[in-house]
Structure 1
Amino acid sequence: MRAVEVTGESMLPALRPGDWLLVRSGARIVPGSVVVARHPHRNLLIVKRAVRHEADGWWLESDNQRAAGRQDSWDFGAVPDALIVGRVVLRYWPKPSLRLGPP
């Protein structure tokens, strides 16, 4: 397990800046899962929703497409599987929540 802090507003309303998440490496990802990945062109982590798996990797999108500075697969294409850090399993701060994945 790994802890990750949300920055930016690209995942509103599900996640807000300052939320802290627990991320499980190797957890099964299905469309609708919230994942943490390494940005394919910059040295930073991104929190995005997995939309579909393609030959090149996962297509990841922001929930809030209008967020300033939003970066997702619309900008850089599918993210290779090797860059997926893990699936978000829990928001533990400020309020615990398990409603981060598909129903």
Structure 2
Amino acid sequence: MSKFGTVKVSCGSMLPAYRDGDWLFVSWIDGAAALEAVGKSILGKVVVIEREERPGIFLVKRVQKFHSGKFWVEGDANESTDSRTWGWIAAEEIVGVVLFRYKRGKKIA
């Protein structure tokens, strides 16, 4: 992991951890081989995903399982679209690891 950047949360799939409008500081992953090397150590971490069939769209999910170079990811909210819909995802679809939230979105009453 060598580059850093930001992503803005734009839905509720990671509630209560992150909400719409939150800004997250991300360490971008330099290739699938780097991610496969960390394997199980990424369990429980929040990651940024770019699905092969939706390039340019970034999704924020939590890594729940690792098996044979593939990852099972889920949003914290039950209504999240994630591996419960897609199944296992390839390592190259995980493009970053969330380090921390640096700006909170506005709370809606």
Q: TM-score, normalised by structure 2?
A: 0.75
**Distance in structure 1 (CA, Å) of the matches to 2:67 and 2:91:** 10
Alignment partner of 1:15 out of 15, 18, 27: 18
1:46 — aligned with what? 59
Question: CA–CA distance in 2 between the matches of 1:40 and 1:72?
Answer: 14
Counterpart of 1:37 in structure 2 is: 49
- Stretches of structure 1 that go unaligned for 5 or more consecutive residues are 96-103
Q: Which has the higher helix share?
A: 2
1:5 corresponds to: 8
The separation in 2 between residues aligned to 1:41 and 1:54, in whole angstroms, is 22
TM-score, scaled relative to structure 1: 0.79
Give the distance between the partners of 2:53 and 2:101, measured in 1 at CA: 27
RMSD (Å), alpha carbons: 1.9
**How many angstroms apart in 1 are the aligned matches of 2:89 and 2:26?**
17
SS of residue paired to 1:50: strand
1:27-85: CA deviation from partner (whole Å, max 9, x where unpaired): 8552110000112432311100000112251100010013xxx3100111112111111
Structure 2 residue runs of 5 or longer lacking an equivalent are: 30-34
CA distance in 2, matches of 1:80, 1:21: 23
- Identity among equivalent positions (%) equals 36
In 2, the alpha carbon distance for the partners of 1:63 and 1:39 equals 18
Larger radius of gyration: 2
SS at match of 2:92: helix
1:83 aligned onto 2:93: yes
Aligned residues: 92
